[in-house]
A and B are shown apart, each in its own frame.
Chain A
Amino acid sequence: MVHTKEEAFAIWAPEDARWSEWVVPVAFLHPAPPGSGTAHTTELPSIPVAAAPAGAIVIDLPGAEAVTAGLSLASHGVRPVPLFSGTHGPSAVIDVVPITQSLIEGAERLRRCVIPPDAPPAFLLDSRRNETPIVRAGDYDNRWMALPQDFPSGPLLIGSGIEVATVIQRGSLDLPSDLAHVLRRWQDAGMRIDVVDLASGRRAENAVVPKPSLFKRIWYATIALLGLRRSNVGGFGSPIPEDTDNGGILG
């Protein structure tokens, strides 16, 4: 059964589910020609759910693979929470269309999963979000970053009985810097952070998340995006570093 975008969103963010409010809508709104998603495949990646203590999961995998990983966890009673914040445009640096397609095409599979309303969350991120160091001039630069305000806070998670977060990624046990801003906050609130590398099978239990640069600075998001690329600064909300006659930096 093929669902509309709004129907798919309602399936991924049911009103009675504890973590539905955090589902980011934008990924459901991009153009999505049918047939190119991967969520309809029967082969789903093996996610070591059984090895993860009860708690939150953060899936940080490339594009549609994160969606299929979320669906795999859903079959084990975990609530997948898409947090894909990438915008869409012509000649986009990050191709977000497969994510949209997978969310829509995977909605029926998700609908058939039995997930308790208070099931723990699996936050889904696109690990390609700020890769691609070479951007062609003229492209639509839709690279993005995960920000702390995209997630529930550590105290809220702990108050919901979630005291552990397991990050599932591929290729390293090192955490991406943007995710470190989230996880360090969770750690400071008292949560334990585990990291799993799907490529090697290695696992870091009770990992110490080092304090990242600009941690809790009010202009973190702005300055970090400035570092991401020079020609297309992202978002606004704060002054940006700039020399002034008074010395130092403005802001």
Chain B
Amino acid sequence: MSSDGTLASNPWIAVEALDNEAFARLRRRAIFDCCKWDPQVGDTCVIARHPLVITHAAWREVSTLAQALAAETLAAEAELTRRPALLRRLGIPRSVRRALRRVSSAGPARDAARLMRFDFHYTTEGWRISEVNADVPGGLNEASGFAPLMAPHYPSTTGVGDPVDAYVKALVAAVGPRATIGLVHATAYCDDQQMMTFVARRLEAAGVSVHLASPAHLRWRDGSAWLHATWWQGPLDGIVRFFPAEWLTRLPSETGWPLVFAGSRTPLSNPATAIVVQTKRFPLIWDALETRVPTWRALLAETRDPRDAPWRASDEWVVKPALGRMGEGVGVRSVVDPMEMRRIDRSVRWCPGAWVAQRRFHPLPIEIDGVPAFPCLGVYTLDGRVVGAYGRVARLPLIDGSAADAAVLAA
């Protein structure tokens, strides 16, 4: 270890940020070419002025780890759907557990183009992951769109992959050309629609017909999905789901939402069984699995039920909601506002089975123009193969909705 505490194999290469003029142009292109419709969150611009530049060696290393994680995750998911007795410990709602129990009778939902994103952090102990986004991994428009915008300003770098390009190819391979795909999402949120629109454009360019719709528009006939919308009704050859699995249970019964968990004959990306590995309580059942998860054990910080961890008395533990996303509700005592921490405390007391305690890791910052920043590298796997990355950078060691999206380049 060097005298400043960083490891000799620090994966990041510090670069200078873009100047104001170049950044203004990039921001405009991000909006109009990459569907980045939420560039400002509160007082914070959430487009990074610099890329995350990783060494080629580190990218190869993290790619190998991500592919191992993906294989373990898919195997564990398959086992968990066959063993419903373990679901109760996962902190997923009762209605979801009921839906998952149908796998044994209806069979698993047909899947296609399984997309996941593993969030890596480089720490004092090397690479660690904070979570997998196995259910509805976001950030695709930024991951595919930002690198081509940034790369010309950093000529010694290369991209690490275009995840949407790979995703579209996999979807087309699954459903065939001239197919009709429903991109199902929460239609109220423009930050959800932006990603769907970006993917839709690429699918249309590949000859696929697309419909951006709500899951409330789904109907089923003999296990096959139909779109039942005012503007169009007809069979779907595939569904891209960007709607969290645990939200499906809030839909009316006529939407047939249980088939997204089990029994769908229409290929789903992703089937809702992904929730069993999406939950942050997934590590709590590892010892009960026949599937071995050595990469998970090596990379994920120690995880316990909050009733079994001293998180209230120790800064070395954080608490997280089992189904939290985007860093919301994460209780990091030295980072989170005290009033918010008290709210989290009450929530954990009231419903500990919906939370998890995790030993803190200590991410190493990089310096950009003299200012420390904490990077997070989200590595996408598609059917087990790495296809690209989504970078985020935060001023604090907590990646939440105010973290800036960063292009990922390698050098």
A residues near B (Cβ < 8 Å) are 5-6, 9-10, 15, 21-22, 24-26, 29, 85-87, 89-91, 136-145, 148-149, 151-153, 156, 216-219, 225-226, 228, 230-240, 242-251
Contacts and interface: CB of A to CB of B under 8 A. Distances in A.
Contacts of A86: 190
Contacts of A151: 42
Given A87-B187, A139-B229, 10 more contacts: A24-B37, A90-B230, A138-B217, A156-B43, A232-B188, A233-B186, A235-B189, A239-B322, A242-B249, A244-B353
Interface in B211-265: 212-217, 228-232, 243-244, 246-247, 249-252, 255
Name the 5 nearest CB pairs between A and B, nearest first: A234-B188, A90-B231, A235-B189, A91-B230, A242-B93
A126 B231 CA distance: 24
B401 A149 contact: yes
Interface in B39-58: 39-43, 45
Interface stretch (B71-79, B152-160, B344-352, B370-378): B344-352
Contacts of B351: 244, 246-251
B94 A242 contact: yes
Contact of B191 (A21, A228, A235): A235
B188 A238 contact: no
B384 interface: no
A109 B244 CA distance: 43
Contact of B401 (A153, A237, A249): A237
Interface residues of B, number: 66
Given A237-B401, A238-B321, A144 B230 contact: no
B88 A6 contact: no
Contacts, number: 181
A156 B192 CA distance: 27
Interface of B: 24, 28, 31-32, 36-43, 45, 88, 91, 93-95, 136, 186-194, 212-217, 228-232, 243-244, 246-247, 249-252, 255, 321-326, 328-329, 339-340, 343, 347, 350-354, 401
8 contacts: A90-B232, A91-B229, A218-B340, A234-B189, A236-B243, A245-B94, A246-B354, A247-B350
B252 A246 contact: no
Contacts of A91: 229-231
A244 B93 contact: yes
A207 B43 CA distance: 25
Contacts of A218: 328-329, 340, 343
Identify which of B39, B189, B213, B247 gathers the most chain A CB atoms within 10 Å of its CB.
B189
Given A29-B37, A236-B192, A242-B94, A89 B246 contact: no
B28 to A, nearest CB: 7
A235 B93 contact: no
Contacts of A239: 246, 321-324, 329, 354
Contacts of B94: 242-245
Given A6-B32, A21-B40, A87 B190 contact: yes
A205 B247 CA distance: 42
Given A90-B231, A153-B43, A235-B192, A141 B243 contact: no
Contact of A140 (B31, B39, B41, B187): B187
Given A87-B193, A90-B229, A239-B354, A21 B246 contact: no
Contacts of A25: 31-32, 36-37, 39
A231 B216 contact: yes
A231 B45 CA distance: 33
Contacts of A246: 351-354
B365 to A, nearest CB: 25
A232 B322 CA distance: 23
A243 B231 CA distance: 35
A137 B229 CA distance: 8
A140 B214 contact: yes
Contacts of B247: 233, 236, 240
